[in-house]
A and B are shown apart, each in its own frame.
Chain A
Amino acid sequence: MTRPEDALEHARAEAARKRAAGEYAAVGAAALDDSIVSARPSIELLSRWAVIEGDPQLLYSTRRAGAPITALKRMIVHLLRQYLVEVEARQTRFNIALLASVQELEARVARLEQAAGAAAEGRREEAADADATG
């Protein structure tokens, strides 16, 4: 019997042996990894999210035999399309303007940090020169 405490080492050894024999050649690679967003989404990802586009495929009903309800919801969305496009455009306008402001602020902060770093370095060099000559 393999004890529960020994099972992981046993499994690793067996997996390594079979890998060497080519038995685990086609093991998959976590297809969801790319869809998991880091705690701070990139500007590129935010740019994609900023553009609001309603997708009727997102409509559904959780009721039993909900297909007619889903079809009705999609028809209503279709009938309201002109209005919804206008609302989406207004939200997108705000999102893009806000994102542009954030990008500009990030660039300004980066420039200020660079300038502050250079100034601090200059002060350190002046202090070192003063020590050497004094």
Chain B
Amino acid sequence: MTAVHQAVAGAGPYDAVSEQTRAWRRLLGEAGYGGGDHAAQIDPRVRGGFAALDALTPEPGDLLVIRYSAWSPALTGLLDLPQRLLLVYHNITPAEYLWNHSAGLAVQCAVGRIQLPAFAGRAQVAVADSGYNAAELRAAGAAEARVVPILFEPGRLEVRGRPPAGEGPLVLVVGRLVPNKRHDRVLDAFAAYQSACAPGARLVLAGEPLTPGYARLIERFVRSSGARNVTVTGGLAQPELNAAYAAADVLLTLSEHEGFCIPLLEAFHFGLPVVAAPNAAMPGVAGDAALWTDGDPAVTAELLDLAVRDAALRAELGRRGRARLEHFRSERTGAEIRAAVADALASPPAGG
């Protein structure tokens, strides 16, 4: 049996890269490939699925899949192995956002960008999960960077946990509490929405905080924004997240840097209108199925109001969202993943 091993810098309980690693593993298993998933750092809450990266001992004919979203010395070490390499580029958060909040992660991101050309140049096949990421990969020297989207599995969105408490229009924000997601701007816009449009509105910020210190900073922003009915949930288990989507009236994201933004697809799955800032990969993912704001908190507030109250607009956005999801059907993406793996395995080995 041919083995395909996946390697990531860090494995966590809620992050998109770890989730994609698990999704690819299921697909690779169904396609008859063996192998395992390895991480340089494994969060203690991750229960199984990942082994330490230094325990990876591939056979000569195996394929290595490096999922690249941050640098780690152990990942760089894989470049010296003779095995064929498939690079999956998830993008790297610009370090500018992180220097003041997590110096260690900022270093991983800064070095990650510096090292990207070495990974792009070494890989037999390089893929990116969005056109935005593919452009960065080409700029880093990849001879060819094909777009293989996120493997979107709607089945995991079916189980429902407990929905958020309370009444009133529910604005949902999904994503790690990290500076590039600009939760400060979200709070400004939501406070404006409450003051001028919907005094009883609720805001749920669902996502794992960067650090406990950053979580405290966001709590301070909540208090100083003047917004009421704001719940900072931390990372939610899938059933609770699904229930939040099902109960929400609109998804809001004002992120300044996204390599893909899976919550857009999840919102489309739930028929939820999306108000977003047209930054990075998001316009390419959501297309004409989102309401794009110019960043003015008052304008964002008015877009939220439209998305919540205009039933015909909601229906049209729902229709467009379902059409966007067609581009990301798991059958289609699965075929592209299998093709990328087969091409990588069929390519000449490094130095061959």
Give residues in A with beta carbon < 8 Å to B: 1-5, 7-8, 10-12, 14-15, 18-19, 23-24, 26-33, 35-39, 41, 49, 57-58, 60-64
Known: A1-B310, A4-B313. A24 touches B195 (CB 8 A): yes
Q: Which of A2, A27, A30, A31 contacts B306 (CB 8 A)?
A: A2
B16 near A: Cβ within 8 Å?
Answer: no
Chain B residues in 8 Å Cβ range of A31: 184, 221, 224
Q: Knowing A32-B179, A58-B213 are in contact, say whether A2-B313 is a contact too (CB < 8 A).
A: yes
Tell whether, in the assembled complex, residue B299 and residue A27 are in contact, meaning their CB atoms are under 8 Å apart: no
B1-9, B18-26, B96-104 - the one binding chain A: B96-104
Interface of A is mostly: loop
Q: Which residues in A have their C-beta under 8 angstroms from that of B290?
A: 4
Interchain CB contact under 8 A, B313 and A62: no
In whole angstroms, what is the CA distance A3 to B288 when docked? 11
Bound state CA distance, A36 and B256, in angstroms?
A: 12
Which residues does chain A contribute within 8 Å of B300, judged by CB atoms?
A: 11
Contact partners of A10 in chain B: CB under 8 A: 302, 306
Is the beta-carbon distance between A27 and B294 smaller than 8 angstroms?
no
Told that A4-B289, A12-B302, A27-B297 touch, could you supply 11 new A-B pairs with CB distance under 8 A?
A1-B313, A2-B306, A3-B313, A4-B291, A4-B320, A15-B299, A28-B224, A31-B184, A35-B100, A37-B99, A39-B96
Bound: A29/B300 CA distance, A: 14
Q: Are B97 and A15 in contact (CB under 8 A)?
A: no
CB distance from B168 to the nearest CB of A (A): 19
A8–B192 touching, CB < 8 Å: no
Closest to B273 in A: A4
Answer whether residue B340 sits at the interface, using C-beta atoms and an 8 A cutoff.
no
A15 and B291 contacting across the interface, CB-CB below 8 Å: no
Task: Report yes or no: B196 in contact with A23, Cβ–Cβ below 8 A.
Answer: yes
> Cβ of A11 and Cβ of B221 under 8 Å apart?
no
Q: List residues of chain B with CB within 8 A of the CB of A36.
A: 96-97, 100, 179
Q: Would you call the interface of chain B mostly helix, strand, loop, or mixed? A: helix
Cβ contact of A11, chosen from B96, B187, B213, B302, cutoff 8 A: B302
B183 surroundings in chain A (CB, below 8 A): 32
Task: From known contacts A1-B313, A26-B195, A31-B184, infer whether A7 and B306 are also in contact, taking CB-CB under 8 Å.
Answer: yes
Partner of B298, one of A27, A32, A41, A57: A27
Residue of A nearest to B289 (CB): A4
A110 vs B96: C-alpha distance when bound (angstroms):
26
By a CB distance below 8 angstroms, the chain A residues around B185 are 30, 32
Closest residue of B by beta carbon distance from A10: B306
- Cβ of A3 and Cβ of B306 under 8 Å apart? no
- How far apart are the CA atoms of A31 and B187 in the complex, in Å? 10
B321 to chain A, nearest CB (A): 11
CB pair B298 A24 closer than 8 Å: yes
B303 contacts A8, CB within 8 Å? Answer: yes
Q: What are 15 of the A-B contact pairs (CB < 8 Å)?
A: A1-B310, A2-B310, A4-B291, A8-B292, A8-B294, A8-B303, A15-B299, A30-B185, A32-B183, A32-B185, A35-B100, A38-B96, A58-B211, A60-B212, A63-B45
List the A residue with the shortest CB-CB distance to B312.
A1
CB closest chain-A residue, reference B225: A28
Within 8 A of A (CB), among B97-139: 97, 99-101, 103
